[in-house]
Amino acid sequence: WEEDGRIVGNATVLKSRTNGRYLVVNVAVDPDYRRRGIAYNLMEYAAQMVEGRGGRQILLQVVKNNQAALQLYQSLHYRTIGSMTTWYAPVSHIREIAAEPETAAEQGVIIRKLGSDEWQTAYEFDKQSLHPDLNWPDLPRPDIYKNTMWNRMWNFFNGRQNETWIAVNEQNEMAGLVNILSEWGRTHLAAIRIHPDWRGQLERPLTAVLTHHLRRMPRRNVRIDHPDDDEPVNQLLSEAGFRPRRTLTHMRLDL
């Protein structure tokens, strides 16, 4: 957006790997030019551009307590999906959470490594446990949990480790999942997923598994993105030494 011969506002739009899905990753207006409708007009133009290119939806993130931005996007018919908090902790600062295995055992649940033939089931479970649009910037790859012998060899020679543990009931149905992705020289990425029917029951045993294995990882930072409204897991992460870095609200516009 140009005024008086200079740029005073901009919006950045990116195409994601998901067909028809675009991302708005930056909207900025010079402080001296705010409250003139520039951001609104930029976002309207961005939507028109995306629709003209065959896009079906636009996603964006906004700091949860930024009420002005939230109201702007709501006025443009963006719908709130939910909020994700990013947690960080150095491996050396992580404290192991007590397992209390009797909690899971009483429910007929065991926690074990994901079998090499269960990766597709784990992917479907992930989609049931977390709204797809809370993944950023793209949906999880269908092979995210694939861990065949060939994958393990490829990971080994590329300094990569991808480990998954699952909680299963007496019928061998997945109730929870823990994943740790480690790549040489990079921050470890971790995730906890719990099926809606098992929330309030598996948070502690799954967090115990997570912290137990993270304590044995190379001494780097660990990052976990987790739903802001999942108070039990967030409380356990805090007890384990993680600290929240930021909370972002995910919003979507369907075209």
Query: Are 165 and 111 a contacting pair, CB within 8 Å?
Result: yes
Residue 137 and residue 21 share a domain: no
Alpha-carbon distance of 97 to 92, in angstroms, equals 14
Residue 222 and residue 98 share a domain: yes
- List pLDDT tens digits, range 144-197: 888 876 676 666 656 678 899 999 999 999 999 999 999 888 999 999 999 999
Residue 69 and residue 91 share a domain: no
Residue 224 and residue 116 share a domain: yes
For the cut 70, the answer to whether the pLDDT of residue 102 exceeds it is no
Q: How many residues does the chain have?
A: 255
Residue 117 and residue 43 share a domain: no
Helix (H, G, I), strand (E, B) or coil at 93: helix
Last residue of some domain: 61, 84, 107? 84
- Read off the CATH number of the domain in which 41 is found: 3.40.630.30
For the cut 60, the answer to whether the pLDDT of residue 241 exceeds it is yes
Decide if 115 is inside a domain. Answer: yes
Nearest to 211 by CA among 85, 87, 86: 87
Last residue of some domain: 36, 52, 84? 84
Residue 99 and residue 70 share a domain: no
Identify the domain containing residue 213 by its residue range: 86-246
Residue 104 and residue 184 share a domain: yes
**What share of the chain in percent tops pLDDT 70?**
93
- List pLDDT tens digits, range 33-70: 999 999 999 999 999 999 999 999 999 999 999 999 99
Decide if 255 is inside a domain. Answer: no
pLDDT of residue 154: 64
Average pLDDT over residues 209-219: 93
